Structure 1
Amino acid sequence: MNNLSYLLETCPNHIKKDFLNISFDTFDKILIQNEDANFVYIIKKGKAKVYSLTSTGIKYLERIYSEYELFGELEVFINKPILNYVEALEPCEVIKIPKDCFLEWIKYDSNFSLYINIQLSHKLYTTSINSKANIVYPLKHRLIFFLWRFLDEHNLNAIHKDLLVEGIGSNIRSVNRIIKELVSDNIIDYNKGFIKVKDMNKLINIVFSYNYNDNTIELLNKN
């Protein structure tokens, strides 16, 4: 059983009586960058993407949340505006937890408090690793790494180009150039905006030829 699923099930009724069950359609914004942080969210069903939007209009994909993952806690803890957009990738069922209920749950349940601290530490650590990778490695390397990691993590065989552009925080022209190179090298197929890997073993060999250290590969693969 997912740890958060169990903690939610054992949350005292006097705390969770004010939890709200809400639904979002695909492309609905669950959180909006720079708005006030008044709630924490748990996804019960579906997937949502977390991304930031730069002043130049470039989207940068931070991560994707799946069932029984929690978000919004960072801003609630420090009483700061929402840092990133969270958008439904598919129809989602979400538990919306008022700020005061979330903080009371933290104080009441030491196991829940420990869980939140571990999750926050993991997010901050992997964000730091990603920042270093974005500085050190060329765009083509980052694109191939993201493609491999995303398809493997979500058990997919294709990804839309728009999500790939957001995943590496680049512009469409640069991504199109790299896609053409990978098609020419017979590594991927590209059709109507969707990218499908033709030879995953070849892609993996390219990834491990980048000389990422073991810690970087392990952490980025879990992000």
Structure 2
Amino acid sequence: MDSIKIGHLTKEVKRVQFSITAIPAGVHYVEKNYQNGDYIIEPTEENHFLYILVAGKAGVYNECADGEAVLLYEYRAVDFFGEFEILTEVRTPMTVIAKSDSKVFIVEKNEVLKWLRMDFEFTLFFLNRICMKTLDLSYEHIRVAKLSIRERYIYSIKAHSDKGDLPQLTKERLVEDIKAPIRSMNRIIVDCADFIAFEQKTFKIIDQKRFSSEFEALRRKSE
């Protein structure tokens, strides 16, 4: 049972248990291994497949106008993606990149539809997981919308620091992350300059104790 909290409302949501890796006989699939950083789905190619992440992690990215890729969602085994293109007329997907060495079962659209027709438990699991992902994304959208620009800035710096790519973070990418005008973001950068420096076009945490204190207060507020 999962607890989903939106504002002051907490909703208990039951996840359907199902072994999606136990693909039944008669449903054809291909097993493929990816190394960390490999493209699993490229946005320039039409997608007609369901990808079952058997081992590893994968990230869904949005390609920004400046060529930067913003992480939208992270999958951890066992999970699946690619269902949007199977169930709608949209054929051009988001970018999906392996975030670790990963193993994936790839099932073609017609095989997925056959599996759905022949196995009600799979159908129930499939629909339940789609709903859960929608809830996850909705909750994240509401959580971020409730944060001030300053709070979003600190969250973004923390995320990139944990990911290890803070030295490569650009202002353009940060604008996409925190969804704020460049002038507003510049004011926040100045406001936080005593613990997050921006020098020579590079962000750096210069007071780790102060930064940790600010982030911990923000984390408690968001709970």
Superposition TM-score tier, normalisation by shorter sequence: 0.5 to 0.7
- Superposed, which structure 2 residues align to 1:178-197 within 5 Å? 178=189, 181=192, 184-185=194-195
Alpha carbons 2:156, 2:178 under 8 Å: kept: no
1:49-198 pair list within 5 angstroms: 49-145=59-155, 159-161=164-166, 168=177, 178=189, 181=192, 184-185=194-195, 198=208
Match of 1:8 among 7, 21, 28: 21
Aligned residue number for residue 207 of structure 1: 219
Q: Distance in 2 between matches of 1:44 and 1:193?
A: 36
Whole-angstrom CA distance in 2 between matches of 1:25 and 1:197:
35
Unaligned 5+ runs, structure 1: 187-191, 218-223
More helix by share: 1
Alpha carbons of 1:66 and 1:178: their partners in 2 closer, same or farther (altered >3 Å)? farther
Asked whether the equivalents of residues 44 and 67 of structure 1 are also in contact (C-alpha less than 8 Å), the reply is yes
Kindly state the Cα deviation for residue 163 of structure 1 after the two structures are TM-superposed.
Answer: 8.0
Indicate yes or no: 2:58 matched with 1:48: yes
**Tell me, what secondary structure is at the counterpart of 1:80?**
coil
Runs of at least 5 residues in structure 2 that lack an aligned partner in the other structure: 1-15, 197-201
Contact 1:39 1:97 survives alignment (8 Å): yes
Matches of 1:46 and 1:197, distance apart in 2 = 34
Q: Deviations over 1:25-58 (max 9, x none)?
A: 2222111225322111111222111011134534
Secondary structure at 2:104's aligned position in 1? strand
1:19 equivalent among 17, 29, 32: 29
Mapped contact 1:160–1:194 kept (Cα < 8 A): no
Q: What is the aligned-residue RMSD (CA, Å)? A: 3.8
Give the whole-Å Cα distance in 2 for the aligned partners of 1:197 and 1:41.
42
Q: Distance in 2 between matches of 1:105 and 1:117?
A: 13
How many angstroms apart in 2 are the aligned matches of 1:25 and 1:194? 29
Change (3 A) 1:142 1:193: closer
Partner of 2:3: none
8 A contact 2:59–2:71 mirrored in 1 = yes
The number of equivalent residue pairs is 193
In 2, the alpha carbon distance for the partners of 1:196 and 1:47 equals: 31
Q: Deviations over 1:144-199 (max 9, x none)?
A: 44677x69xxxx9664325895793669x959x759938x449xxxxx98979956
SS of equivalent to 2:21? helix
Structure in which a larger fraction of residues adopt strand: 2
Name the amino acid aligned to 2:25.
N
Q: Equivalents in 1 of 2:113, 2:76: separation in Å? A: 23
Between the aligned partners of 2:206 and 2:94, the Cα distance in structure 1 is: 28
* Amino acid in structure 2 at the alignment position of 1:66: R
Which structure has the greater CA radius of gyration?
2
**Which segments of structure 1 move beyond 3 Å, counting only runs of 4 or more?**
54-58, 129-136, 143-148, 156-159, 162-167, 177-182, 192-202
Identity %: 18
TM-score with structure 2 setting the length = 0.67
Rounded to whole Å, the distance in 1 between the matches of 2:88 and 2:65 is 24
